Amino acid sequence: MLKRKFYDFLLDWKRKPNRKPLLVKGARQVGKTFLVERFGRAEYAGYVYLNFLERPDLVRIFEGSLDADAVYSRLSLTLRDARIVPGNTLLFLDEIQECGEARTALKFLAGDRRCDIVASGSLLGIQYKNVRSVPVGYEEHATMHSLDFEEFLWAKGFSDDQLAPLRESFVKREKVDDFVNSTFLAEIRDYMAVGGMPEVVSAYAERKNYGEVDEIQRRILRDYLDDMMNYAPLTEKPKVKNCFLSIPRQLARETENRKFKFSEVEKGGGGRKFGNSVEWLRDSSMADMAHNVTAPLFPLAAYEDESAFKLYLSDIGLLTALYGFDMKAAVVDGTLKGSVKGGLYENLVASMLVRRGHPLRYLRDAHDPLEVEFLLEKDGAVVPVEVKASNASTASLNRVLGRDDIAMGYKLTSGNVGVVGKKITLPHYMAMFL
* Residue boundaries of the structural domains of the chain: 5-143, 149-433
313: enclosing H helix or E strand: strand 304-313
Of 41-55, 130-144, 197-211, which range is least confident? 130-144
Average pLDDT of the chain to the nearest whole number: 94
Cβ neighbours of residue 378 closer than 8 Å, sequence gap 6 or more = none
As a whole-number percent, the residues of the chain with pLDDT over 90 amount to: 88
What DSSP character marks residue 358? P
pLDDT score recorded for residue 21:
97
What is the rounded CA–CA span in Å between residue 54 and residue 302?
Answer: 45
What is the rounded CA–CA span in Å between residue 264 and residue 369?
Answer: 21
Condensed to tens digits (0 to 9), the pLDDT of residues 324-361 reads 999 999 999 999 998 899 999 999 999 999 999 999 99
* Partners of residue 363 on adjacent β-strands: 293, 372
Q: Are the C-beta atoms of residues 116 and 85 closer than 8 Å to each other?
A: no
pLDDT score recorded for residue 124:
75
Asked if pLDDT for residue 173 goes beyond 70, the answer is: yes
pLDDT score recorded for residue 333:
96
**Helix H segments across 195-315?**
198-207, 210-231, 237-251, 262-265, 271-283
| Nearest alpha carbon to residue 317 among 253, 425, 404, 224 | 224
Q: Are the C-beta atoms of residues 75 and 61 closer than 8 Å to each other?
A: yes
Condensed to tens digits (0 to 9), the pLDDT of residues 269-314 reads 999 999 999 999 999 999 999 999 999 999 999 999 989 999 999 9
In a 3-state reduction of DSSP, which class is residue 235? coil
Q: Are the C-beta atoms of residues 98 and 128 closer than 8 Å to each other?
A: no
Kindly provide the residue ranges of all beta strands, DSSP E only, lying in 150-196, ordered along the sequence.
none
383: enclosing H helix or E strand: strand 381-387
- Res. 122 pLDDT band, cuts 50 70 90: confident
pLDDT score recorded for residue 132:
60
What are the counts of helices (DSSP H) followed by strands (DSSP E) for the chain? 16, 14
Condensed to tens digits (0 to 9), the pLDDT of residues 109-119 reads 999 999 999 99
Condensed to tens digits (0 to 9), the pLDDT of residues 79-105 reads 999 989 999 999 999 999 999 999 999
In a 3-state reduction of DSSP, which class is residue 129? coil
Handedness of CA 341, 252, 250, 224 (dihedral sign): negative
As a whole-number percent, the residues of the chain with pLDDT over 70 amount to: 97
Asked if pLDDT for residue 134 goes beyond 80, the answer is: no
What is the rounded CA–CA span in Å between residue 95 and residue 53?
Answer: 6
Q: Note the CATH architecture for domain 5-143.
A: 3-Layer(aba) Sandwich (3.40)
Cβ neighbours of residue 54 closer than 8 Å, sequence gap 6 or more = 95
pLDDT score recorded for residue 133:
59
Q: Beta-carbon neighbour count of residue 330 at 10 Å? A: 20
Asked if pLDDT for residue 395 goes beyond 80, the answer is: yes
- Res. 127 pLDDT band, cuts 50 70 90: low
117: enclosing H helix or E strand: strand 116-120
pLDDT score recorded for residue 369:
80
What is the rounded CA–CA span in Å between residue 18 and residue 141?
Answer: 15
* Prediction pTM value: 0.95
pLDDT score recorded for residue 130:
57
Asked if pLDDT for residue 67 goes beyond 90, the answer is: yes
In a 3-state reduction of DSSP, which class is residue 32? helix
Q: What average pLDDT does this structure show over 384-404?
A: 93
pLDDT score recorded for residue 135:
67
| Nearest alpha carbon to residue 92 among 50, 131, 38 | 50
Condensed to tens digits (0 to 9), the pLDDT of residues 360-372 reads 999 998 788 889 9
